[in-house]
Structure 1
Amino acid sequence: MEPLRGDESTVGETSVVTRGCRVESGTPRTVLDTGTRPRCAWATGSESIAASGAAATVTASGASRFADVQAAATALFDRCDVPTDLPSVARPRLFGGFAFHEGDTESTDSPWDGFPGAAFFLPEVQVTRTDGGTWLTTTGTGPTAAADAERRLDEWADRLADVPASAPRGPPGVESRERTPSQATWRDQVGAALESVDDGNLQKVVLAQALRVRLREDLSVPDVLDRLAVTYPDCYRFLLSPEDGGTFFGATPERLVSLRGRTVRTEALAGSTGRGDTPAEDEWLAAELLDSEKDTHEHALVADAIRDQLEPFASSVRIGDRTVRRLATVQHLRTSITAELQRDEHVLSLVEALHPTPAVGGLPPDEALRTIRETEAFDRGWYAAPIGWVDAAGNGTFAVGIRSAVAKGRLATLFAGAGIVADSDPDREWDEVQLKYRPMLDELE
Structure 2
Amino acid sequence: MQSTHPIEALKHQLDTLCETASKGFIRLSTPCQVESLMGWLNVQSVYPRLYWRARDAGAIEYAALGVVKAFDSLGGLQADLAALADIGGEQPDYFGGMAFDPVTPGWQHFPGCHFLLPRIELRRHQTGATLSLNLRFDDRCPEAEIAQARACLAALEEEQPLPCLLPHVYQREDRPSQKEWAASVAQVTNPDHLGHTPKVVLSRETCLTTRETPNPWALLARWQVGATDCFHFGIQLTPHEAFIGCPPERLYKREGRHLMTEALAGTTHRVRDAQQDQALADELLADKKNSLENQCVYQQLLTQLEPHSSQVNMGEAHIVKLRSVQHIRRLIHAELHSDVTDQQLLSVLPPTPAVGGVPRESALAFIRQHERHRRGWYAGVFGSISHANSDLSVAIRCAHVGPEAIRLYAGAGIVAGSQPDEEWRELDTKIADIMSLLGMG
Q: Same fold (TM over 0.5)?
A: yes
Q: CA deviation at 1:367?
A: 0.3
Please give the per-residue CA displacement for 1:229-256, whole angstroms capped at 9, x wherever unaligned. 2100120111122247621110000000
Question: Where do residues 190-201 of structure 1 align in structure 2 (5 Å cutoff)?
Answer: 190-195=185-190, 199-201=194-196
Question: Where do residues 146-161 of structure 1 align in structure 2 (5 Å cutoff)?
Answer: 147-148=146-147, 151=150
Q: For the Cα contact (< 8 Å) 1:346–1:394, is it kept in 2?
A: no
Q: For the Cα contact (< 8 Å) 2:258–2:334, is it kept in 1?
A: yes
Aligned to 1:368: 363
Tell me which of 39, 43, 46 is aligned to 2:53: 43
Q: Name the CA shift for 1:146/1:179 in 2 (closer, same or farther; >3 Å).
A: closer
% identity of equivalent residues: 33
Aligned to 1:415: 409
- The letter for the 2-side match of 1:25 is Q
SS of 1:104 mapped into structure 2:
coil
Aligned to 2:435: 441
Q: For the Cα contact (< 8 Å) 2:383–2:392, is it kept in 1?
A: yes
SS of 1:252 mapped into structure 2:
coil
Tell me which of 72, 77, 89 is aligned to 1:59: 72
Aligned to 1:401: 395
Moved over 3 A (4+): 14-17, 66-69, 72-75, 77-82, 145-156, 196-199, 215-218
- The letter for the 1-side match of 2:258 is T
Q: CA deviation at 1:68?
A: 4.2
Alpha-carbon distance in 1 for matches of 2:179, 2:380: 27
Aligned to 1:226: 221
Q: How many residue pairs get matched?
A: 409
Alpha-carbon distance in 1 for matches of 2:103, 2:325: 32
Tell me which of 272, 280, 283 is aligned to 1:285: 280
Alpha-carbon distance in 1 for matches of 2:289, 2:68: 49
Whichever structure has more strand as a proportion of its residues is 1
Q: For the Cα contact (< 8 Å) 1:17–1:140, is it kept in 2?
A: yes
> Does residue 172 of structure 2 align to residue 177 of structure 1?
yes
Aligned to 2:78: 70
Query: Structure 2-normalised TM-score?
Result: 0.86
Q: Name the CA shift for 1:364/1:301 in 2 (closer, same or farther; >3 Å).
A: same
Alpha-carbon distance in 2 for matches of 1:239, 1:228: 12
- The letter for the 1-side match of 2:66 is G
**Relative to structure 2, which stretch is displaced further, 32-41 or 408-417?**
32-41
Consecutive unaligned residues in structure 1, runs of 5 or more: 1-13, 61-65, 85-90, 107-111
Q: Name the CA shift for 1:308/1:154 in 2 (closer, same or farther; >3 Å).
A: same
Alpha-carbon distance in 2 for matches of 1:324, 1:36: 42
Please give the per-residue CA displacement for 1:277-299, whole angstroms capped at 9, x wherever unaligned. 31111111111101111001111
Tell me which of 258, 264, 267 is aligned to 1:269: 264
Tell me which of 27, 34, 51 is aligned to 2:44: 34
SS of 2:362 mapped into structure 1:
helix
SS of 2:206 mapped into structure 1:
strand
- The letter for the 1-side match of 2:37 is P
Q: Name the CA shift for 1:366/1:104 in 2 (closer, same or farther; >3 Å).
A: closer
SS of 2:196 mapped into structure 1:
coil
Q: CA deviation at 1:59?
A: 1.4
Tell me which of 338, 341, 350 is aligned to 2:336: 341
Alpha-carbon distance in 1 for matches of 2:166, 2:342: 36
Please give the per-residue CA displacement for 1:88-115, whole angstroms capped at 9, x wherever unaligned. xxx6321111111132324xxxxx1101
Aligned to 1:96: 96
Q: For the Cα contact (< 8 Å) 1:208–1:418, is it kept in 2?
A: yes
Q: CA deviation at 1:54?
A: 1.1
RMSD across aligned positions (CA) = 2.5
Q: CA deviation at 1:167?
A: 4.8
Alpha-carbon distance in 2 for matches of 1:15, 1:178: 53
Q: Name the CA shift for 1:390/1:188 in 2 (closer, same or farther; >3 Å).
A: same
Please give the per-residue CA displacement for 1:36-92, whole angstroms capped at 9, x wherever unaligned. 2112100133221010111122114xxxxx3344234544x359886x5xxxxxx63
SS of 1:242 mapped into structure 2:
strand
Query: Structure 1-normalised TM-score?
Result: 0.85
Aligned to 2:375: 380
Consecutive unaligned residues in structure 2, runs of 5 or more: 1-21
Q: Name the CA shift for 1:339/1:146 in 2 (closer, same or farther; >3 Å).
A: same
SS of 2:222 mapped into structure 1:
helix
Alpha-carbon distance in 1 for matches of 2:169, 2:230: 24
Q: CA deviation at 1:216?
A: 5.2
Alpha-carbon distance in 2 for matches of 1:117, 1:146: 28
Q: CA deviation at 1:182?
A: 0.9
SS of 1:348 mapped into structure 2:
helix
Alpha-carbon distance in 2 for matches of 1:55, 1:176: 40
